């Protein structure tokens, strides 16, 4: 039987209760020993639901506890850096929710703390949309299925935020989300996974719906986080990537990524929907390579890294820092009206 792995949860919101708690508790020898939420009442609800014996109101109690081996951090981004660093300093393994941090400076602090404790696992929850296909996409590109990649187009369009006075989300609030904008960080992580590092960006954004309703306070709040964002990026390998991200595009098709190369094109339309079109040829539906369509395996990966010393693949703090540098470069470009090299960030 595996040695017990005692896990505490800070910020047990929707993804934690839907994914992390059931996923971890389904692994032999993993125990949920404590939960700390924004209020004692919400913490107690989670504790009652999952049989967690301890509810804390101050995360310091978790960082200093001698009977906790690992911490799952499910707060909004504004607490990710502080809690990650404190957990690592307290000798705890860390599974931190995406997005990594508020900005690249915080992400660097998290990476530095993890390198000081390289005996501990530091893992970010990955962008989940491509989990069935990313290995196959990388293999196809490595095998030159489309030749030299020249362009990629990323469309993430929906109408979830089109209504004036619609509900306020933490993603609308810079104080909680930092430089993160809508789904851009998630899809830039995927592009990095598929196509490699970004070197330069030019970005522009606008906030069409500036008034949203805070259901917790009953008040309307004015927001300035963009609900429409365009980004042009140059990758290290020479390819050009265009992102269109919007929550004010009602009736738009589902998210997609299109890759155009010298010898063909590759289209992803969500989940495991891949189509390869050789130059001058017919479209070919691509089935994910055998054994690669693993899907959501975040909690098992985390435990395997702790117990078996497996390197963190999805997603490492190094990879997280890269997408946070892209995120900050996009922010600077929007604010300053110029192109930004990632070397500046």
252 assigned to some structural domain: yes
CATH number of the structural domain spanning residue 22 = 3.40.50.720
Question: Would you state the pLDDT for residue 213?
Answer: 94
Number of residues that make up the chain: 345
103 assigned to some structural domain: yes
Question: Would you state the pLDDT for residue 216?
Answer: 87
220 assigned to some structural domain: yes
The secondary structure of 98-160, three-state, reads CCCCCCHHHHHHHHHHHHHCCCCCEEECCCCCCCCCHHHHHHHHHCCCCCCEEEEEEEEECCC
Q: Are 197 and 259 contained in the same domain?
A: yes
> Is 166 in contact with 213 (CB distance < 8 Å)?
yes
Using CA atoms, how far residue 1 sits from 8, 28, 29, 51, 299, in Å, is 21, 8, 7, 22, 18
60 assigned to some structural domain: yes
Q: Are 94 and 141 contained in the same domain?
A: no
Handedness of CA 101, 104, 105, 107 (dihedral sign): positive
319 assigned to some structural domain: no
331 assigned to some structural domain: no
Question: Which of these three, 268, 294, 320, is where a domain ends?
Answer: 294
Q: Are 289 and 308 contained in the same domain?
A: no
Q: Are 259 and 144 contained in the same domain?
A: yes
Q: Are 142 and 289 contained in the same domain?
A: yes
What is d(CA 322, CA 317) in angstroms, rounded to the nearest whole number? 9
Q: Are 153 and 71 contained in the same domain?
A: no
Question: Would you state the pLDDT for residue 54?
Answer: 98
Q: Give per-10-residue mean pLDDT for the chain (345 aa).
A: 89 96 98 96 97 97 98 98 98 98 98 98 98 98 98 98 93 96 98 98 97 93 96 97 98 98 98 98 98 97 97 98 98 98 98
Question: Would you state the pLDDT for residue 86?
Answer: 98
Q: Are 101 and 181 contained in the same domain?
A: no
Q: Are 183 and 272 contained in the same domain?
A: yes
51 assigned to some structural domain: yes
CATH number of the structural domain spanning residue 190 = 3.30.360.10
* Domain total in the chain: 2
Model confidence pTM above 0.95? yes
Q: Are 99 and 176 contained in the same domain?
A: no
What is d(CA 336, CA 340) in angstroms, rounded to the nearest whole number? 9
Q: Are 192 and 285 contained in the same domain?
A: yes
Name the residue range of residue 208's domain.
Answer: 134-294
165 assigned to some structural domain: yes
What is d(CA 129, CA 174) in angstroms, rounded to the nearest whole number? 25
Q: Are 156 and 253 contained in the same domain?
A: yes
Q: Are 172 and 235 contained in the same domain?
A: yes
């Amino acid at each position: 039987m595996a040695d017990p792995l005692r896990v505490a949860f800070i910020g047990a919101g929707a993804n934690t209760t839907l994914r992390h708690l059931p996923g971890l508790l389904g692994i032999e020898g993993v125990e949920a020993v404590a939960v700390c939420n924004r209020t004692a009442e919400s913490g107690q609800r989670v504790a009652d639901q999952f049989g967690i014996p301890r509810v804390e109101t101050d995360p310091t109690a978790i960082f200093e506890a001698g009977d906790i081996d690992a911490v799952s951090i499910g707060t909004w981004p504004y607490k990710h850096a502080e809690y990650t660093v404190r957990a690592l300093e307290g000798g705890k393994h860390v599974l931190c929710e995406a997005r990594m941090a508020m900005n690249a400076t915080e992400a660097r602090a998290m990476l530095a703390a993890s390198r000081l404790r390289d005996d501990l696992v530091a893992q970010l929850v990955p962008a989940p949309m491509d989990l069935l296909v990313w290995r196959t996409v990388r293999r196809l590109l490595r095998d030159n299925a489309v030749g030299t990649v020249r362009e990629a187009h990323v469309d993430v369009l929906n109408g979830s935020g089109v209504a004036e006075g619609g509900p306020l989300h933490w993603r609308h609030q810079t104080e909680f989300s930092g430089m993160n904008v809508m789904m851009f960080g998630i899809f830039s992580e995927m592009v990095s996974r598929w196509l490699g590092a970004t070197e330069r960006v030019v970005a522009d954004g606008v906030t069409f719906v500036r008034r949203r309703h805070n259901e917790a306070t009953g008040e309307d709040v004015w927001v300035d986080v963009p609900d429409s964002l365009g980004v042009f990026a140059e990758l290290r390998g020479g390819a050009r990537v265009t992102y269109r991200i919007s929550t004010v595009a009602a009736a738009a098709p589902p998210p997609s990524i299109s890759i155009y190369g010298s010898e063909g094109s590759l289209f992803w339309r969500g989940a495991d929907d891949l189509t390869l079109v050789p130059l001058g040829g017919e479209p070919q539906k691509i089935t994910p390579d055998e054994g690669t369509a693993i899907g959501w395996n975040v909690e098992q990966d985390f435990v395997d890294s702790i117990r078996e010393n497996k390197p963190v693949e999805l997603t490492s703090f190094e990879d997280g820092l890269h997408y946070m540098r892209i995120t900050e470069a996009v922010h600077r470009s929007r604010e300053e009206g110029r192109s930004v090299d990632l070397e500046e960030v």
